[in-house]
Amino acid sequence: MRTGPHPAAAEGNLPLVAHADPRSVAAWRRGEPVTAGRLLADVRRAAQCMPEGGHLLNLCADRYAFSVALLAAVTRRVTTLLPPATTPAVIDALRGFAPGTGFVSDNDADLPDLPRIPLAFSAPGDPECGTVPLVEGSRVAAIAFTSGSTGAPQPHAKRWGSLFRNAAAEARRLGIAGPGHAILGTVPPQHMYGLESTVLLPLLSGAALTAERLFYPAEIDEAIRRAPPPRILFTTPFHLRNWLESGTTERLETIVSATAPLSEALARETEARTGATLLEIYGCTETGQLATRQPTVSAQWHAYDGVRLREEDGCTWASGGHIEEPTALSDLIDIDPGDAGRFHLRGRAADMVNIAGKRNSLAYLDHQLAAIPGVVDGVFHFPEEARPEGVTRLVAFVVAPGLTPEAILAALRSRIDPVFLPRPLVMLDALPRRGTGKIPVEELRRLAARAASSRLREDA
């Protein structure tokens, strides 16, 4: 148990944004520049609408509006909640977790049953703000919840000092040393990866964020053409594959992928088609971002400055750098014997399946499925219930217009051990992926139950 002061307490006060010059561009919104002075004026106006203390659910889809509300909340000692979803069940859970939680939103669709806090912006012609507020490093700025893709979401408090150091480490790794870079993203700001890379990275490095949440390939193309270089696109393998398959011819400087493993083939195609350097980020909600790699150069991950890994009792622990206290990781990791900051990732511990004495990773199986020509999307699922004969079979859900289940199974037989072949293989029009590209485990269970029910009806 920790007996001394929290490490963030020793950091003192840290700036709310890194843009020291109020005339510098802090954001691009609908193609128009927004100065740091205007951003700070908007933050001050929004803060006037917020009560001090408490919790806030930030539902803004526009990244600039999200950032204004986040920074306003920080200055008012309001903790922003970042749940994995906003379903009625999640909202009910938030009421129990943080009674009195309010919300802000930039649209009137699908509003939760919570008190709404108005989000006000400064008007054109209003004076800009030239003073950057300071925030204690020990202040809890946000509470992020695990995605629920492998189980029940769990809360993790994020202090301003830790977020600040994480953004600084990412900026150093990506070569961002101040104004000039334009940050684009397909990931929602409510997700930890989206928060760190598309909101906090530009705000705390002096780069410029872009307000638009990109999703469709045409939107990505337009955003790249509109943003001044150098540009960094933060995305996921799901969005990246769809974008490339659209036939894009856009070129840019850097692409960063996270949230799921990226195949070397997709990485090489991306760099060849776009001219960009492609990097991957490894991290988790518990620790934030930990490491990067360039998959076309090396499979080894390189931890951020000061972050070190160690093995203890069969588990890998991360500490140092922006990590406030040693944290156990949920992944199977091989640490470089000569450098505790370099490692290879073998998959999630919860991702490993054992069938008839043979072990494999669901991520590896997903990769083999996605590599079959004609497969647009696909995922393996390991049902938790034990079968009467004692062997639980995998299920696969596949989007592959033009292919039959028999053709996909034939292709899988040449790629994986027969014991891991899915029984059944279910064809779908689309998978229920969230904006981050992940599929919650509850959705996979629901699909598996539907498939089982369908089989029972067919056998009756």
**What does the pLDDT average to over 287-300?**
96
**48's tokens:** 């006037």
The answer to whether residues 252 and 323 belong to one domain is yes
The answer to whether residues 137 and 263 belong to one domain is yes
The answer to whether residues 60 and 161 belong to one domain is yes
The answer to whether residues 329 and 223 belong to one domain is yes
Nearest to 190 by CA among 280, 112, 272, 75: 112
The answer to whether residues 171 and 44 belong to one domain is yes
Over residues 189-240, the pLDDT tens digits come to 998 999 999 999 999 999 999 999 899 999 999 999 999 999 999 999 889 9
Enclosing domain of residue 185: 15-347
Task: Check residue 352 and give its pLDDT.
Answer: 73
Task: Check residue 459 and give its pLDDT.
Answer: 53
Between β-strands 25-29 and 208-210, what pairing exists: parallel, antiparallel or unpaired? Answer: parallel
The answer to whether residues 225 and 262 belong to one domain is yes
Nearest to 144 by CA among 355, 285, 353: 285
Within-domain flag for 380: yes
Domain of 37: which CATH number?
3.40.50.12780
Within-domain flag for 1: no
Whether 300 contacts 343, CB under 8 Å: yes
The answer to whether residues 279 and 210 belong to one domain is yes
- pTM comes to 0.81
pLDDT at 151 over 80: no
- Listed residues 310, 326, 347: the one ending a domain: 347
- Listed residues 306, 323, 347: the one ending a domain: 347
Whether 375 contacts 441, CB under 8 Å: no
**How many domains does one find in the chain?**
2
- Listed residues 307, 327, 347: the one ending a domain: 347
DSSP for 8-26 reads GGGG-EEES-S--STTSEE
Tell me whether the omega of the peptide bond preceding residue 7 falls within 30 degrees of 0, making it cis.
Answer: no
The answer to whether residues 407 and 305 belong to one domain is no
- What is the number of residues in the chain? 460
**206's tokens:** 């002096």
Task: Check residue 316 and give its pLDDT.
Answer: 94
How would residue 5 be classed by pLDDT, with cut points 50, 70 and 90? very low
The answer to whether residues 366 and 342 belong to one domain is no
**What is the three-class DSSP state of 171?**
helix
Within-domain flag for 134: yes
CB atoms within 10 A of CB 11: 17
CA distance 363 to 260: 8
Within-domain flag for 9: no
The answer to whether residues 170 and 24 belong to one domain is yes
**162's tokens:** 């830790």
Whether 405 contacts 425, CB under 8 Å: yes
The answer to whether residues 154 and 261 belong to one domain is yes
How would residue 386 be classed by pLDDT, with cut points 50, 70 and 90? very low
The answer to whether residues 182 and 310 belong to one domain is yes
- Listed in order, strand segments (DSSP E) in 95-236 are 102-104, 134-136, 140-145, 155-159, 182-185, 208-210, 231-235
How would residue 458 be classed by pLDDT, with cut points 50, 70 and 90? low
**What does the pLDDT average to over 106-112?**
87
pLDDT at 3 over 50: no
